[in-house]
């Protein structure tokens, strides 16, 4: 049974979240104060922490930063603010996902499931949380990519390919290998599709797409991601 810590100072929200999570089979501990939560989580890390941004004691951003510097507890941030920079800031300091208030408890539960699934996957080395390479941030839960704090709009396939390459830094993949891993069916798609996607990704994330620093070509073999 997974243990989830909820850090939220609004009693109504905290109670609803606790009820839904318990009903879904999770053990839940709640805290209303950021500092108190930091001590408790550090003492005994839960399987996942849900953290509100506006908190007494210590705000959710600082709490996330502290927890990240000490370990890899999966974190979902609750934010009542819709501003994009808040979401991005949260992901950049290492949160795995965020949920904007008001949210449906059912949606939160499904995000919890997804983040836990990813966290377990990362133990097998197959998938993980937010990847940070300098000013490039790739957040698989939110399917969000930011460069120097700005959101980069990617198609689903562009995201999948970037994420796949970034999960295997410096490993070289042929176009057919990428088709198999990212598209899932190599027989019916022209390998040139990969070339096109690489070019579009470079235009979006490389300062100089003609001289890529991240998405590099290995002549005669394929492509690799430089971290
Ligand atoms: Ca609050």
6-21 pLDDT, tens digit each? 999 999 999 999 999 9
| Cα of 200 from ligand 1 centre, angstroms | 40
| Cα of 59 from ligand 1 centre, angstroms | 9
The single residue listed with the structure tokens 């009542």 is 80
Percent of residues, the chain, with pLDDT higher than 90: 56
- Dihedral sign for Cα 176, 182, 188, 192, please: negative
| Cα of 56 from ligand 1 centre, angstroms | 8
| Cα of 9 from ligand 1 centre, angstroms | 5
Contact 33, 55 (CB under 8 A): yes
| Cα of 19 from ligand 1 centre, angstroms | 18
147-195 residue pLDDT tens: 998 999 888 888 989 999 999 889 999 998 898 888 765 456 778 889 9
| Cα of 18 from ligand 1 centre, angstroms | 15
How many CB atoms sit inside 10 A of residue 153's CB? 9
For all residues of the chain together, what is the average pLDDT?
A: 87
User: Does the structure show a pLDDT above 60 at 123?
Assistant: no
| Cα of 53 from ligand 1 centre, angstroms | 6
- Alpha carbons within 13 A on the beta-carbon side of 118: 25
7 contact partners, CB below 8 Å, separation of at least 6: 30, 31, 32, 34, 37, 49, 50, 51, 52, 55, 60, 63
User: Does the structure show a pLDDT above 70 at 127?
Assistant: no
Tell which residue, 6, 34, 32, has the closest CA to residue 20. 6
Domains of the chain: 3-119 (3.40.50.2300), 131-225 (1.10.10.10)
Judge if pTM exceeds 0.75.
no
| Cα of 80 from ligand 1 centre, angstroms | 8
| Cα of 14 from ligand 1 centre, angstroms | 10
4-57 residue pLDDT tens: 999 999 999 999 999 999 999 999 999 999 999 999 999 999 999 999 999 999
| Cα of 13 from ligand 1 centre, angstroms | 9
| Cα of 51 from ligand 1 centre, angstroms | 9
Return the higher-pLDDT residue of 139 and 118. Answer: 139
| Cα of 31 from ligand 1 centre, angstroms | 11
| Cα of 98 from ligand 1 centre, angstroms | 14
């Amino acid at each position: 049974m997974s243990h989830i810590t909820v850090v939220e100072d609004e009693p109504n929200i905290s109670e609803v979240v606790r009820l839904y999570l318990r009903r879904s089979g999770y053990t839940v501990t709640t805290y209303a104060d950021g500092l108190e939560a930091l001590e408790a989580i550090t003492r005994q890390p839960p399987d996942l922490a849900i953290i509100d941004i506006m908190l007494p004691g210590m705000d959710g951003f600082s709490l996330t930063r502290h927890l990240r510097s000490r370990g890899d507890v999966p974190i979902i941030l609750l934010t009542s603010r819709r501003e994009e920079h808040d979401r991005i800031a949260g992901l950049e300091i290492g949160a795995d996902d965020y949920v904007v208030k008001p949210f449906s408890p059912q949606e939160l539960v499904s995000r919890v499931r997804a983040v836990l699934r990813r966290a377990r996957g990362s133990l097998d080395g197959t998938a993980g949380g937010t990847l940070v390479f300098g000013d490039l941030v790739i957040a698989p839960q939110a399917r969000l990519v930011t460069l120097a704090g700005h959101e980069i709009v990617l198609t689903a396939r562009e995201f999948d390919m970037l994420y796949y390459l970034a999960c295997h830094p410096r490993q070289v993949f042929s176009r057919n290998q990428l088709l198999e891993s990212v598209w899932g069916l190599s027989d019916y798609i022209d390998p040139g599709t990969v070339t096109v996607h690489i070019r579009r990704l470079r235009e979006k994330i490389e300062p100089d797409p003609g001289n890529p620093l991240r998405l590099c070509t290995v002549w005669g073999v394929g492509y690799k991601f430089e971290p």
